[in-house]
Amino acid sequence: MRVNGELKDLAHPLTEHDTVEPVTLDSPDGLDILRHSAAHVLAQAVQNINPEAKLGIGPPIQDGFYYDFDPAEPFTPEYLKAIAVQMQKIIKQGQRFVRRVVTEEQAREELATEPYKLELIGLKGGGDNGENVEVGGSELTIYQNIDAKTGEVYWQDLCRGPHLPNTKLIGNGWALMRSAAAYWRGSEKNPQLQRIYGTAWPSKEELRTYQTRLEEAAKRDHRKLGTELDLFSFPEEIGSGLAVFHPKGGIVRNEMENYLRKQLLAAGYELVNTPHITKGQLFETSQHLNWYKDGMFPAMHLDAVIDGEKVVKPGQDYYLKPMNCPFHNLIFRARARSYRELPLRLAEFGTVYRYEKSGTLAGLTRVRGMTQDDAHIYVTAEQVSAEIKSQLEFIFETLRGYGLADFYLELSTRDAEKSVGSDEQWQTAEAMLQQIAVESGLELVADPGGAAFYGPKISVQAYDAIGRTWQLSTVQLDFNQPELFELEYAAADGSRKRPIMIHRALLGSIERFFGILLEHYAGAFPVWLAPTQVVGVPVAAEFAPYLNDVIEQLRSRGVRAELDNSDDRMPKKIRTHTKAKVPFQLIAGADDMAAGAVSFRFRDGSQLNGLPVAAAVRRILDAIASHEQVNTAWSE
């Protein structure tokens, strides 16, 4: 339940003055409590089997939970099965979760054999990376698992809570998923622990639905499809998180960029280019070296002039850029600006580099080198609201062009410990974004403390074909960088004023969006994006010249078409190109050639026979122009 707005256990004592709200198991808060309770049962089961395993943390996460351990030996699949059996026993017992407030001295005494818990005790008042489930409150608490009848204490853990009343309420909608290595508190400087992942849902049916979704997601995994369809790779010789795009992947990427570039120009953007590297002074001015240095590649010290042992000219630190915005500020500042130029919309497909930890890299969706479709819009104070509304509409329209049409919004607000600028600026910016997001009519989810250091943001979250959500576009309001870079424009009254800056990334990064689209379409890209749009498959060799004439007609109209003139038999050719997810296979035999026609075979195996060549060409061109996803025969 929520008591006066705070989550509490159902056993929490109440007064007549308290405002109490129920928390249901299927609500976001309820799911977190269910999953965190399951994480405690997991930890109890592990220590029942292996009492020497040391405890890390066990927070709820999206769609599940995990718990970190320091065991003598790594967990094996057989070990996970034994843990699951133990968990089932604990759940059936209906052990009560009982909260106890303890002093720091009591906590240290009771958890003296748990070194990782002792470290967390010193963080009372807050922690990161899931540690708030342990010590996030103003007091220290320990939760005990107690026999409901005898009061016997089976197990206990340092925890903030709240929890379910008892383990039986976890039910049978849970499963252990896998184990993996994880660094303690997310730092490679710390010991490597063993992490067990699990999932928990209010019912067995919901668990099965989730597992089915995971199976479908595995089929759509962009890393698997990228290899099967020969789109991209991550050569070991280049380094982790650095992708190369093969010819077919390069076609898809180029089409993605061309479409967005066309949209940008139509929306009044001006395209710019900036270098990949800069002196460190630029990022000192922008404050990135204060707030983002851990996410940057180390400095390269260059330009020093040394004569023997004497430094004639000191060198300077250069950095690979993690962001494009400071460069765009310099473009704005390169000459005098007038209010008549605003809004000034600068856009760039700018490659940036971020030193993501190796354990967080995930194919194209988390890389170290990426190309952002970055834009920065400079506006007057009076233009801010209208421009942000316009940007959101631009985002929705463009994403629909890629085939994504179901969205909700997330509003990320200030983290007072990790931000620059005045309270008044932040309050004004947050209120404005809140109002605009509400007026959009889309669902709005709060993300407290999730803003960048320079300003709040609206994120557009999109649902894909199997119901997963992806954070895509962001619109961030920034009062601070114009101040840091001393940007000015001449106002209508002749005075000098600061512009306000809007950061806008529509796709996020080309690499990540490529991976998202690949999974959304399960590799079967719509015709306009498909690397090969049409393949001609002659029934026999004598029909190849006739079909090649059709292919040449398509090529002359800009269609990516080719003739399969290999020695393979026709059924094998059809299987090969179906597996490659080619949208259209054009087949021609004696009847087709006699009638001046072709037959279509679609990706799902359906066919449309005897279509005149001119009509076939027109339909293919129409499908490309309309961004149509064609899997079946067109209706007549």
Q: Which residues are tagged catalytic?
A: 325, 354, 372, 374, 376, 457, 503
Sheet with 316-320, strands from edge to edge, namely 277-279, 316-320, 300-302
472: its two tokens: 């895509």
CA atoms within 13 A on the CB side of 531: 19
Burial label, 535 (beta-carbon count in 10 A; 0-12, 13-18, 19+): buried
Q: What is the DSSP string of 517-573?
A: HHHHTTT---TTT-SS-EEEEESSGGGHHHHHHHHHHHHHTT--EEE--SSS-HHHH
Handedness of CA 83, 85, 86, 91 (dihedral sign): positive
* DSSP states of 195-258: EEEEEE-SSHHHHHHHHHHHHHHHHH-HHHHHHHTT-EE--TTT-TT--EE-HHHHHHHHHHHH
Alpha-carbon span 579 to 517, nearest angstrom? 18
Question: Residues near 276 by Cβ (< 8 Å), separated by ≥ 6?
Answer: 320, 321, 351, 352, 353
- The SS3 assignment for 134 reads helix
Which residues does residue 587 pair with via DSSP β-bridges, in sequence order? Answer: 537, 599
Q: Give whole-number Cα distances, 295 to 225, 280, 320, 455, 594, in Å.
A: 29, 14, 11, 18, 65
CB-CB contact of 591 with 610 (8 Å): yes
CA distance linking residue 477 with residue 383, whole number of Å:
12
Residues contacting 60, CB < 8 A, separation 6+? 31, 32, 33, 35, 36, 39, 133
- Decide if 302 contacts 316 (C-beta within 8 A): yes
The type of residue at 426 is W
Q: Look at residues 294, 301, 352 and name the one whose alpha carbon lies nearest to residue 326.
A: 352
Three-class secondary structure of residue 146 per DSSP: strand
**Residue in 287, 324, 57 with CA at minimum distance from that of residue 195:** 57
Residue 571's Cβ-count burial label (10 Å; 0-12, 13-18, 19+) is exposed
Question: Strand 300-302 vs strand 305-307: parallel, antiparallel, or unpaired?
Answer: unpaired
Nearest to 439 by CA among 450, 431, 447: 431
Three-class secondary structure of residue 579 per DSSP: helix
Give the integer Cα–Cα distance in Å for 459 and 467.
Answer: 18
Q: What separation, in Å, do the N-terminal and C-terminal C-alpha atoms of the chain show?
A: 59
Output the six-digit token pair for 44: 């109890």
